[in-house]
């Protein structure tokens, strides 16, 4: 708690890209994860 939504989204995307790749699909999936968990 206490984080802005945009900070949470950036963090989720960063973590996802570290695990996977910089592909468009990875970005879509990370955005979905951010929407679900932030």
Distance, CA of 6 to chain centre: 10
The predicted model scores a pTM of 0.43
- Is-contact 17 34, C-beta < 8 A? no
**CA angle, 6 then 29 then 2, to 5°:** 25
**Count of alpha carbons within 13 angstroms of residue 18, beta-carbon side:** 6
- Is-contact 13 31, C-beta < 8 A? yes
- Enumerate residue ranges in the chain where pLDDT < 70: 1-2, 20-22, 38
Number of domains composing the chain:
1
Range of the domain at 10: 5-37
pLDDT at res. 2:
67
């Amino acid at each position: 708690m206490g984080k802005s939504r945009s900070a949470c989204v950036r963090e989720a995307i960063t973590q996802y890209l570290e695990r996977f790749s910089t592909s468009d699909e990875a970005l879509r999936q990370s955005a979905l994860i951010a929407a679900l968990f932030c």
